[in-house]
Amino acid sequence: MKPQIAATDWQPTIAAIRSARLIALITHRNPDGDGIGSQLGLYHALKQLGKKVIMHNRDGVPRIYGFLEGAAEIGRGNWDETAEQPDVIISLDCGSRSRLGMPEAFFSGATLINIDHHASNSRFGDINVIDAAYCATGAMISDLLIALGITMNAAMARPIYAAILTDTASFRLNSADAGVYRLAADLVEAGAEPWPICMEVYESRSLAGLRLLSECLATLTLRDDGRSAWIYVTHDMYGRTGADVEDTEGLIDYARGMQGVEVAVFIRNDDGADCWKLSFRGKTTADVGSLAAGLGGGGHRHASGCMLRGTLSEIEARVQKAVSDLFA
Ligand SMILES: [Mn+2]
């Protein structure tokens, strides 16, 4: 296999891995396919090296990634402060330390390695490998495995394939260049089966999830002369449909998918009535990464998000102004 980016300097990361006693792999809150896939791909590689490795996500693993080998090993919820303390922590696909959702005690005394492809990454690690030229953090893990001299097996290839599949929106984004397709081919040769993985990730919506989709689409409004599309999910919709936050994955793509829409905005209730998670998607020229950064969040040029507190009408007014400024 050829690396995606041969110039990436993995040596500080490799030195820390080689001397580590206990390595902890973590990713961001509300983890996605790239976070989970990177975590599991690296987990199987480090186990093969004979390393002692744990995984912990504050929010666990979304159901659609539960089929991946090792997913059940990922710890969830609050960190047990009496547990053995890792001496090396590897943060994957996470742009800021606070988004990991882990307590200070978890980090104490450990070397923190920050591997990510978000341009907005705050470089919070002791070792930072940050490169927005990668389509996914999973592609960075593939390069790290090459640098470590590890041969990709199926247990590593499947989660890394899932990471790249989901972060390139099924190889549809511009980030899916020829090198990414070559990597996908290598992963398939190593044992990642495209259709079974696709079925688990994209073809396993629950009835409750589809009912939530129906309610969510009913909230669609067009603003900015049809250039922005807005959709919502509120707590009462979960109550009526039986769906949960995991069922909101991908809903925003329906809003972006409309002809003439440049920016899609998805607003959903988070924990607490006055807490809102906002997601943004851009279609062509609009830079929603800067939009989210201006609202205290972050992300990529075409996909980003932030958290805001307040009443829904306050949030809407603030975000509407920021979105309209994109078109000014
Ligand atoms: Mn990612």
- CA atoms of 128 and 40, how far apart (whole Å): 20
| Distance of CA 149 from the midpoint of ligand 1 (Å) | 24
Task: Using a CB cutoff of 5 Å, list residues around ligand 1, an ion.
Answer: 34, 93, 137, 167
| Distance of CA 281 from the midpoint of ligand 1 (Å) | 14
Tell me which architecture the domain covering 208-326 has in CATH. Roll (3.10)
| Distance of CA 86 from the midpoint of ligand 1 (Å) | 24
| Distance of CA 152 from the midpoint of ligand 1 (Å) | 20
| Distance of CA 239 from the midpoint of ligand 1 (Å) | 30
- CA atoms of 126 and 29, how far apart (whole Å): 21
Tokens 């809003």, residue located: 255
Segment 22-36, tens digit of pLDDT: 999 999 999 999 999
Task: Identify the pLDDT of residue 273.
Answer: 80
- Predicted TM-score of the model (pTM): 0.93
Domain range annotation of the chain? 11-202, 208-326
Task: Identify the pLDDT of residue 289.
Answer: 95
| Distance of CA 43 from the midpoint of ligand 1 (Å) | 17
| Distance of CA 38 from the midpoint of ligand 1 (Å) | 9
**pLDDT-based confidence at residue 68 (cuts at 50, 70, 90):** very high
Residue 41 pLDDT > 90: yes
Residue 192 pLDDT > 90: yes
| Distance of CA 36 from the midpoint of ligand 1 (Å) | 10
| Distance of CA 34 from the midpoint of ligand 1 (Å) | 5
Tell me which architecture the domain covering 11-202 has in CATH. Alpha-Beta Complex (3.90)
| Distance of CA 116 from the midpoint of ligand 1 (Å) | 7
Q: In angstroms, how far is CA 202 from the centroid of its own chain?
A: 16
Segment 202-239, tens digit of pLDDT: 999 999 999 999 999 999 999 999 999 999 999 999 99
Task: Identify the pLDDT of residue 272.
Answer: 79
- CA atoms of 161 and 81, how far apart (whole Å): 33
| Distance of CA 313 from the midpoint of ligand 1 (Å) | 31
Decide if 234 contacts 269 (C-beta within 8 A): yes
Average pLDDT, the chain: 96
Task: Identify the pLDDT of residue 38.
Answer: 98
Decide if 227 contacts 263 (C-beta within 8 A): yes
| Distance of CA 134 from the midpoint of ligand 1 (Å) | 9
- CA atoms of 322 and 37, how far apart (whole Å): 33
| Distance of CA 94 from the midpoint of ligand 1 (Å) | 8
Segment 247-288, tens digit of pLDDT: 999 999 999 999 999 999 999 998 878 999 999 999 999 999
266: burial class by Cβ within 10 Å (0-12, 13-18, 19+)?
Answer: buried
| Distance of CA 167 from the midpoint of ligand 1 (Å) | 6
Three-state SS string across the chain, please? Answer: CCCCCCCCCCHHHHHHHHHCCCEEEEECCCCCHHHHHHHHHHHHHHHHCCCCEEEEECCCCCHHHCCCCCHHHEEECCCCCCCCCCCEEEEECCCCCHHHCCCHHHHCCCEEEEEECCCCCCCCCCEEEECCCCCCHHHHHHHHHHHHCCCCCHHHHHHHHHHHHHHCCCCCCCCCCHHHHHHHHHHHHCCCCHHHHHHHHHCCCCHHHHHHHHHHHCCCEEECCCCEEEEEECHHHHHHHCCCHHHHCCHHHHHHCCCCCCEEEEEEECCCCCEEEEEEEECCCCCHHHHHHHCCCEECCCEEEEEEECCHHHHHHHHHHHHHHHCC
Decide if 305 contacts 266 (C-beta within 8 A): no
Residue 108 pLDDT > 90: yes
| Distance of CA 135 from the midpoint of ligand 1 (Å) | 7
Task: Identify the pLDDT of residue 271.
Answer: 81
Higher pLDDT, 273 or 167: 167
